[in-house]
Structure 1
Amino acid sequence: MSPDQKHRYKLYYVNMRGRAEPIRLVFHFLGVDFEDYRMNKEDFTGAMKEKAPMRQLPFVEIDGGKTTLCQTVSICRYLAKSIQPDRWFGGATKTDSAKVDMMADGFADLFNLSAMAKYADESIKEIAMENYKKSIGPKLEIMQDLLKKSKGEYFVGKSIHWCDVYILGILQALDEGDDGIFENLPELRSYYVRMRNLPELKEYIDTNWPETKYTE
C-alpha cells in the first residue's frame, strides 16, 4: 500500500468480472491499492458469508472490517466521494451528483436485464432471452441520447465521474455477451472505445479483458 494511502481495502467476489468489475475499475482509476480477493462460489459460506452485510457478493472491507459495504453501485459511490474528494468525482453539485447516480442506476438495470437472461433457469431461458433481445436495443438508444445531450464527452457534463467508470464495466459485459450490440449505436460505441483507452485504466484493461472488435 502506498504510504500516502489512508485506508486499506479488500474486495471480495468470485473469480470473474461480473458485478465486481466496476468496483475494480474505480479503484484502478483512482490509483488505489486494494486486495482483490477472488474465491470459488462454493467458498462463499459459513464465516465468509457472515462477513457480507447482506450475505451476498461483492462486498468491500475497509481497514480490516471497521467498515464493510455491499452493493456495487453503493460501493462505487462511496469510493468516489471518500477517495480524493477534492476532485468531485461524484459530482460538484447536488444536481450533478443526482445525475451521476441516475446514470449508474440506469445502467445497473441494463446489466440486470442481461444477467437475468444469461443465468435464467432453462424452463424460462427462452422467454428471458427474447425479452432481453427485444428490450436492450431501445434501452441503449435512450442511453445514447442522454450521452448526446450531455455537454461534454461523458454522461454528466464535461468531466468524467464515477458513473462513467461504472458504465464502462457494464458496457464491457454487454459487449462480451452480445456480439454486435453496439453496431447501430455510433456515439455509445465511440464512448466505449474512448473509455477503454483511458490512461488510468488501459494497462489493467489490456491485461485483464478480452479484446473488443470495436476500434472507434
Structure 2
Amino acid sequence: MSPDQKHRYKLYYGNMRGRAEPIRLVFNFLGVDFEDFRMDQFTDDIKAKAPMKQLPFLEIDGGKTTLCQTVSICRYLAKSVQPDRWFGGATKTDSAKVDMMADGFADIFDMAAQAKYAPEGIREAAMAHFQKVIGPKLEIMQDILKKSKGDYFVGKSIHWCDVYILGILQALDEGEKGLLDGFPELRAFYFRMRNLPELKEYIDTNWPPANCKE
C-alpha cells in the first residue's frame, strides 16, 4: 500500500471477472492498492463476513466497514477516493445521471447472466429471448452516448459509470461474438476505454483480446 493511501481494501470474489471486474477497474483507474482475494469456494467463514451473504463484497480496513453490491461499491469508491476529482459527478444532476447509466447497464448484465446460467431446460429459450431484446437495449444506450456531447456517457468528463460500463461491455463482447459490431459509437467507446493509460496495463494482462474489431 502506498504511504499516502488512507485505507486498506480487500475485495472478495471467485476466480473470474464477473461482477467483481468493474470494481477492479475502478481501483485500477484510481491507482488504489487493494487485495484481490479470488476464492475457489465461498466457504462458511467467508460468507459470515458478507453483509448479504453473497459476492462480491469489499472489506475496508480489516472489516471496520464491509460493503456488497457492485454498483454500490463502485459508487462508494468514486466518492471517497480522490473526491476532488468529482469522479461521481460534479453536480447532483450529473451524479444522478452517472447512477442511472450504471443501473441501466447493470440491468443488461443481469439479463445476460440470467440467460447464460438459466437451468438447462429453459436455457435455449432464455438465450433466444436475450438475443431478441439486447439489440434494442444497446441501441438506447448508444443514443444516450451520442447525446452526451462528449466521449463519455455523462458529458465530456469520465465518471465511474464509464469504467463500470467498460466491464459490462467486455463481458457482453466476450459472451456474444459480434454483439457490438452493429453499434459503432458503443464500440468506439469500448476501445477508447480499453486503451486508457490508467487501465491499459491491467486489461492487457488480464483480459482476452476483444472479439469485436476496433
Q: Which runs of 4+ in 1 moved over 4 A?
A: none
2:197 corresponds to: 199
1:122-153 deviation per Cα after TM superposition (whole angstroms, max 9, x unaligned): 01101111110001011000000000000211
The letter of the residue matching 1:177 is: G
1:94 corresponds to: 92
CA RMSD of aligned residues (A): 0.7
Displacement of 1:46: 1.4
1:150 corresponds to: 148
The letter of the residue matching 1:17 is: R
- Assess if the C-alpha contact under 8 Å between 1:9 and 1:62 holds in 2: yes
1:139 corresponds to: 137
2:37 corresponds to: 37
Displacement of 1:215: 4.3
TM-score (norm 1): 0.98
For the residue of structure 2 that corresponds to 1:51, the secondary structure is coil
1:18 corresponds to: 18
Matches within 5 A, 1:96-175: 96-175=94-173
* Cα distance in 2, alignment partners of residues 208 and 39 from structure 1: 17
- Structure 1: state its 5+ residue gaps: none
The letter of the residue matching 1:3 is: P
The letter of the residue matching 2:18 is: G
- Assess if the C-alpha contact under 8 Å between 1:101 and 1:163 holds in 2: yes
For the residue of structure 2 that corresponds to 1:13, the secondary structure is strand
- Assess if the C-alpha contact under 8 Å between 2:75 and 2:160 holds in 1: yes
* Cα distance in 2, alignment partners of residues 136 and 181 from structure 1: 9
Displacement of 1:195: 0.4
TM-score (norm 2): 0.99
Matches within 5 A, 1:25-64: 25-40=25-40, 43-64=41-62
- Structure 2: state its 5+ residue gaps: none
* Cα distance in 1, alignment partners of residues 161 and 115 from structure 2: 24
* Cα distance in 2, alignment partners of residues 167 and 38 from structure 1: 22
Q: Provide the aligned length of Structure 1 versus Structure 2.
A: 214
The letter of the residue matching 2:137 is: K
1:50-85 deviation per Cα after TM superposition (whole angstroms, max 9, x unaligned): 100000000000000000000000000000000000
- Assess if the C-alpha contact under 8 Å between 1:144 and 1:188 holds in 2: yes
Displacement of 1:214: 3.5
* Cα distance in 2, alignment partners of residues 106 and 134 from structure 1: 18
- Assess if the C-alpha contact under 8 Å between 1:193 and 1:214 holds in 2: no
1:8 corresponds to: 8
- Assess if the C-alpha contact under 8 Å between 2:12 and 2:38 holds in 1: yes
